[in-house]
Amino acid sequence: MSIEQENVKLIEQMFAAFDRGDIPAVLGMVAEDADWQSPVTGAVSSEIPWARLRRGRAEVADFFRELNELMQIEKMETGAYTAQGDRVVVEGTNRGTVRATGRPYQHDWVMVLTMSHGQIARMRHYYDTADILAACRG
């Protein structure tokens, strides 16, 4: 199996764990010194406080805790995977509900994940936050 195939397999396992709600398993795939940002944005809003750079596995755990407190993710679907060397790019869609308002959101996204020693060392999640902001504002 090529390094690219191994990396895609790990990312597929990460999404499967996320779908099961098994965040400890997801965190087990994240490097101790990971560099993580979702969504990638320079304008952090109080309505999406999880949208900031995280450094290290403990801060990634905080990301998932904050996200879960505010959002009910109903479905995160992956589409195409593209891998080259230590990098995997995943395209997908996401839908859910803002817990505070009960309003739904849905958007397409792209994740760029960089692997190191069989773990996720860097993750960048790109999506337009307009739908989430609209759902937050009711």
The 10s digit of each residue's pLDDT in 96-137 is: 999 999 999 999 999 999 999 999 999 999 999 999 999 999
Whether residue 39 is preceded by a cis peptide bond, meaning omega within 30 degrees of 0, is yes
C-alpha span between 131 and 116 (Å, rounded): 33
Percent of the chain past pLDDT 90, that is, above it, reads 86
What is the chain's mean pLDDT, rounded? Answer: 94
With 90 as the cut, is the pLDDT of residue 84 above it? yes
Q: What is the pLDDT of residues 24-36, one digit of tens each?
A: 999 999 999 999 9
Yes or no: domain 3-137 corresponds to CATH 3.10.450.50: yes
Nearest alpha carbon to residue 35 among 121, 118, 117: 121
Q: Give the residue with greater pLDDT, 48 vs 58.
A: 58
With 90 as the cut, is the pLDDT of residue 45 above it? no
Rounded mean pLDDT, 61-90: 96
Backbone dihedral angles phi then psi of residue 57, each to the nearest 5 degrees: -60, -40
Nearest alpha carbon to residue 78 among 13, 4, 30: 13
